[in-house]
Structure 1
Amino acid sequence: MSSQGGKMKEHIVQCLDFAMGKLTKIWDDIGICQDQRKERAEVVLLHLKNLLEEMVKEEEGLKKNLLQNVETYGEELVTLHKELNIPSVEPKKTLTILQLEKDLRTRVDNLSKMKHERMKILKKLKETDQALCDALCTTPYYIPTGTVPSQEQIKTLEEHITTLTTEKERRATIFGTQKKSIVKMMEALDQLPSTDFERDIICEEDDTFLLSSENMKALKTLHEELEVRQQQNFSTANQLRERVTLLWDRLEVEGAERAKFLSEHAGFKPKTITALREEVTRLEELKLQNIQRFVEAMRREVETWWNKCYYSDEQRAKFKHYKNDNYSEELLEIHEKEVAKIKEYYEENKAMLDRVARREKLWEDMMEFERRAADPNRFTNRGGGLLKEEKDRKKLMKDLPKVEQELDEAIGQWEQENKKEFRLKGMRFMDYVTYQWEEYAKNKEMEKQNRHKRNAKIMEEEMHYGSKPTTPAKRRFLGTTPNKNTPNKQRRTELSIASSRTPNSTLGSRTPNRTRTGLRSRLNDMSRTPGAMTQSRIQTPQSVSRNHTTSVFASPFGPPTRPPRPVTGTKTPKQLRPTPQRMTRKALTDRNETQNPFSQTTMAKEVNDVSVESTGSYKDFANGLNPKSRPNCRSSVVPSSQGVTHLL
């Protein structure tokens, strides 16, 4: 520091010497005397002295100002730290006055800005908080006036405002919803606002309603009161309508009159309830005038509820007034009490009784399937009805045992909980189910026996009178229509007829051309060898051909009066190779005799059942076909006196 001052001093001296040298030269040139030169040198010295003093004063003033600023900034800094609730920081001791002043000034500026921002935020938050508190009628968040809020206070105030905003929205939503509901209920109840609070709700704008806690409680109370009143009116109106409907049913009032009254008195307004009460009063008066009809209607209702609850005969017999003919108001009341008692039992056990009713519905469906199965006309239905019926039947037979098992378990649990037995028609559930299945089995067995008896009776009649065709066969005289079959088809038909030649064979009417061809050939063969059927009688029903059936069996007779006409116009078929079937047929044909002609007829059923009529010998059988001895014979082929077959 001293070296720097010495240099400055030397520099000043040099400058002074230089200036004084120039001044002296100037003075010499001018010719100023020594006295004047001395005076002028003193003036120069005075100027220099004044200048230095002035400069010193200025620097001293600067120093003083800096020290004053340091003191001021320090005080402000302390205050800001307190207001902002920020811990103070001591400046470094090595700082000069200028550095200290600058540091303090900068910190004061920053804290002042922070204070300004906080106050600005606080003002905005307080305005919002005040508006919310005014709407909700609550106390604003308290922050002392004139103080700078801390960060924690600002954060707490923001949370408070968020809570109030949410609460206001919730209350506004509740108010809007309940206001609409209150308006509707008042309209339904024919009620006008009667208090200032009700008018504030109904007549004023939504924004003007104060969402205070007291108002919200009062709003809720009003809404609940209207709901109770509405529910009471609704219940009363429904009860009155049920009563009116019941009285209408018992009095057999026409539907047009009912519809007119109900359309004019819909809803549950007080005036509607008044009209319903008046109608009940009017109908009650009519009821007294028609007490017998009412009692009988009540008895039908009692019967309906008995059936719903599966009452047994013993339970029904306990109600002795059911057959009382002394019709009076007291008797009607007794029946009404009985209905109410059964209804109460039904409501208490509705879940269980509904499951029982479902099981009963499945049982009835099963019985319906049984009845359909016995109807042969169902096979003529089209559209896949049988397939759908079979699917439904299988599903029912799968569901019924499952439902019975589940219901048995549920009833067992119910009995444990209620400490009493659950009875259907006086029996426990499984006893009732067992009884139904036993009755079902008995009925099936009885139907089976009746069917066997009926079939045996029909068989006996056929043995005596012959079978009766159930459908008319297509009858044409032999040889009137050319056969369109080829020789090979004709031979196959003949072989099929020969292989199935037994009294049990039935020839279907579905192939009339083949049947006539085989029949003509068969008649020609049998007319020559009628004894061939003797061996065929020992064949079993399994030899019946299901592909070739007819309602007329081939009947052997004597030789025809004229040779048979050719079946077709085709050329003579080539010689067939002998086979075991052909050899058997030929052997049987050779053993036929013409002195035992017979005629035998049968009719194929829809299910290809076999109808058989046979006798001990062909002679007895032929004698039995005599029209005089059997006037009731239904054969379509009978022997004539000449031994020629005639088709009726």
Structure 2
Amino acid sequence: MSARSHEEMQQELGKCLGTTLNRLQNIWDEIGILDEQRRERTDVVFLHLRNLLEEMVKEEESLKTNLLRNVETYGADMLKLSKELAVQPYEPPDGISILQLEKELRTKVDIMQKEKHNRLKTLKKLREQDQHVCDILCTTPYYIPSGTVPSEEELNSLREHIASLEEEREKRHTVFLNTKKEIAAILEALDQCPNTSFEKDIINEEEEAFLLSKENMAALKDLHQDLSQKKQDAQDLVEKLNEQLFWLWDRLVIPQEERSAFKEANKGIKPKVIQAIRDEIARCEQLKLQNIQRFVEGIRTELSNWWDKCFYSKEKREEFTAFNDDNFTEELLEQHDVELSKVRNYYEENKALLDRVHKWQEMWCELKVFEKKAADPNRFHNNRGGALLQEEKQRKKIEKQLPKVEQEVKTAIQQWETEHSKQFLVGGVEFVDYIEQQWEIHRLEKEREKLERHQRNAKVTEEEMIFGSKPATPSAKRRFLLTPSKTPNSKMRKLNDTTKTPRSTTLIGGTVFPSPAGLPPKSAGKTMSSKTPRRLRPTQQRMQRKVLGENTQQNVVGDQSNIFSHTTLSAGGGVRGIHNASTVSIGSTITYQDFANEVLYTDEKISSSPK
């Protein structure tokens, strides 16, 4: 309080006291109180005033004391709460009064008390959630020291922990539901009931009652795997039994109606179905023993097909001597079954490699088909829809792919031989030799076709030399439009035929005879000079015959085996056997490009030949 205010208060009090005393004096005057009594009464007034002022001072001092005590208490509470809440304690500003300090501390303490209460309340709620999820997952709850107020970081960590547990619970619950459905389906398929308490808990108990612990989830996974394996084993067994049963049905020629009825009545993989299939197999086995010959013959047919698939050589097939045994017994049937299983196993073990060889074989056959088509003179008359263009594209595609496929097969065979430490044989020889054999067989087929063609042309020439050439038959259209002319007799036709080349050779019965000397006939001086010889139509057969007449001595004279003496695989003038082709070098064989050029040459030759 300032000095001025203090003086004003004193003046006010003095004025107030003076006024009060004047009033008292007036009252006393009116009453007639004596001076002695007035002094006594005035002393009493002063005594009351002093007591009142003293009491007021004491009350203010008591207020000050209370304020100081509150400041000390609130200060201590604030420090304690600041430590519990992990916040910085409040620092009051300098020069603040006791009353303001007490108010500030009281307000801060109230706020911190509420913060502490909220944190503890939140902690309690989060702990309940954490405990619930942990009970389901059988895990340890998040640790927060008891008796302490959690910090905001701890509460946030607890929230994240609960969220992760909830996510894991949902994930495990979904896995549990899906696995439960699959297990129930497998048990139904296997016609099996839950046996263990764990299986019963899964199938029969409520979904929420199942504890999603790691141990239970691992046991659930193991159970599912075991049942799945049992189902797969049952499926494999049924498939194997059905394969055996179908094979027996085919051999026994069981009617389709009987087969369909049995299949319809025995679906699935239940034990009763498996037993029914086994009973049917046993019945068919009895019928098989009653029809051994039919079974053996059927197995032989199937065995031949498997031999072809595996590219077995003739020698390899002949090793199975029981194939030609006609004494049909159970022992013979068993031998055929063993051989068939052996070949099947060989095919399954090397299926990928054999499929590559089959692919090469198919493409090779297609390439030979294209060559035969190229040698067909009539293919140009059937070119509807651009068939020849499509054929040419397909042929070029095969020519491009065949060497690649061949190289892939060679690489795969090399890898197989490295892994198995033995040779992989195709047709009893290595694959490279097998390819050379195919080229040699193809070359021999072409030589044979060429020889047959030459023999046909020679036969036609022989017949024309004896009986005369046969005129071409006119088409039906020309037959109606033209007037038929008389055919000269064979004698005149022989005399008028001056188109023969002197000293030309004629093939008769496989022997070459020279034609008579180039002298004109006796009647040439009479009539032949004035007549123009009849010119025959230059058919393709006559063109071929002309070429034949010029080259007959080179191609036909002598032993027919000399035809192959100038081939790319010659060795001392003879043709080696097919099984000796393995000694021929790859460089001596024809290439795919030569093969393609030969096809193109044949196309050009046929297209340029007279229609």
- Structure 1 length-normalised TM: 0.69
How far off its partner does 1:209 sit?
A: 2.1
Q: Which amino acid aligns with 1:356?
A: V
Partner of 1:384: 386
How far off its partner does 1:25 sit?
A: 6.4
Partner of 1:496: none
Kindly report which structure 2 residues correspond to 1:50-449, keeping only aligned pairs within 5 A, or say none.
50-86=51-87, 88=89, 95-378=96-379, 379-380=381-382, 382-449=384-451
How far off its partner does 1:105 sit?
A: 2.0
How far off its partner does 1:285 sit?
A: 0.9
Partner of 1:19: 16
Distance change (3 Å), C-alpha of 1:67 and 1:132: same
How far off its partner does 1:459 sit?
A: 6.0
RMSD after superposition: 3.4
- Rounded Cα–Cα distance in structure 2 between residues aligned with 1:155 and 1:419: 67
Distance change (3 Å), C-alpha of 1:418 and 1:194: closer
Q: Which amino acid aligns with 1:380?
A: N
- Rounded Cα–Cα distance in structure 2 between residues aligned with 1:136 and 1:291: 66
- Superposed CA deviations along residues 92-133 of structure 1, whole A, max 9, x for unmatched, are 676543343234223322322221221122122112112212
How far off its partner does 1:286 sit?
A: 0.9
Q: Is the 8 A contact 2:130 2:141 kept in 1?
A: yes
- Superposed CA deviations along residues 50-93 of structure 1, whole A, max 9, x for unmatched, are 44324322321221111121122123223323433446566667
Distance change (3 Å), C-alpha of 1:51 and 1:325: same
Q: 2:531 pairs with 596, 615, 620, which one? A: 596
- Rounded Cα–Cα distance in structure 2 between residues aligned with 1:54 and 1:125: 56
Deviates more, 1:451-460 or 1:336-345: 451-460
How far off its partner does 1:268 sit?
A: 1.1
How far off its partner does 1:393 sit?
A: 1.6
- Rounded Cα–Cα distance in structure 1 between residues aligned with 2:447 and 2:19: 163
How far off its partner does 1:351 sit?
A: 1.0
Q: Is the 8 A contact 2:78 2:90 kept in 1?
A: no
Structure showing greater radius of gyration is: 1
Q: Which amino acid aligns with 1:468?
A: A
Q: SS where residue 399 of structure 1 aligns? A: helix
Partner of 2:602: none
Matched residues, number? 498
Structure of higher RCO (CA pairs closer than 8 Å, 6+ residues apart): 2
Q: Is the 8 A contact 1:27 1:37 kept in 2?
A: no
Structure 1 unaligned residues grouped into runs of 5+: 481-536, 538-592, 613-648
- Rounded Cα–Cα distance in structure 1 between residues aligned with 2:324 and 2:481: 73
Q: Is the 8 A contact 2:457 2:544 kept in 1?
A: no
- Superposed CA deviations along residues 510-533 of structure 1, whole A, max 9, x for unmatched, are xxxxxxxxxxxxxxxxxxxxxxxx
Q: Which amino acid aligns with 1:78?
A: L
How far off its partner does 1:425 sit?
A: 0.8
Q: Which amino acid aligns with 2:152?
A: Q
Q: SS where residue 110 of structure 2 aligns? A: helix
Partner of 2:475: 471
Q: Is the 8 A contact 2:457 2:545 kept in 1?
A: no
How far off its partner does 1:176 sit?
A: 1.1
- Rounded Cα–Cα distance in structure 1 between residues aligned with 2:199 and 2:411: 57
How far off its partner does 1:178 sit?
A: 0.8
Identity %: 50
Q: SS where residue 403 of structure 1 aligns? A: helix
Q: Which amino acid aligns with 1:126?
A: R
Distance change (3 Å), C-alpha of 1:135 and 1:608: farther
Q: Is the 8 A contact 1:468 1:603 kept in 2?
A: no
Distance change (3 Å), C-alpha of 1:415 and 1:235: same
Deviates more, 1:38-47 or 1:159-168: 38-47
- Superposed CA deviations along residues 198-246 of structure 1, whole A, max 9, x for unmatched, are 3332233322322233332332232222222212211221111111111
Q: Is the 8 A contact 1:356 1:407 kept in 2?
A: yes
How far off its partner does 1:301 sit?
A: 2.2
Q: Which amino acid aligns with 1:396?
A: I
Q: Which amino acid aligns with 2:148?
A: T
Partner of 1:545: none
- Superposed CA deviations along residues 604-628 of structure 1, whole A, max 9, x for unmatched, are 67x998999xxxxxxxxxxxxxxxx
Q: Which amino acid aligns with 1:101?
A: E
- Rounded Cα–Cα distance in structure 2 between residues aligned with 1:595 and 1:304: 72
Q: Is the 8 A contact 2:74 2:109 kept in 1?
A: yes
- Rounded Cα–Cα distance in structure 2 between residues aligned with 1:41 and 1:470: 179
Q: Which amino acid aligns with 2:469?
A: Y
Answer 1 or 2: which has greater helix percent.
2
Q: SS where residue 384 of structure 2 aligns? A: coil
- Rounded Cα–Cα distance in structure 1 between residues aligned with 2:481 and 2:146: 131
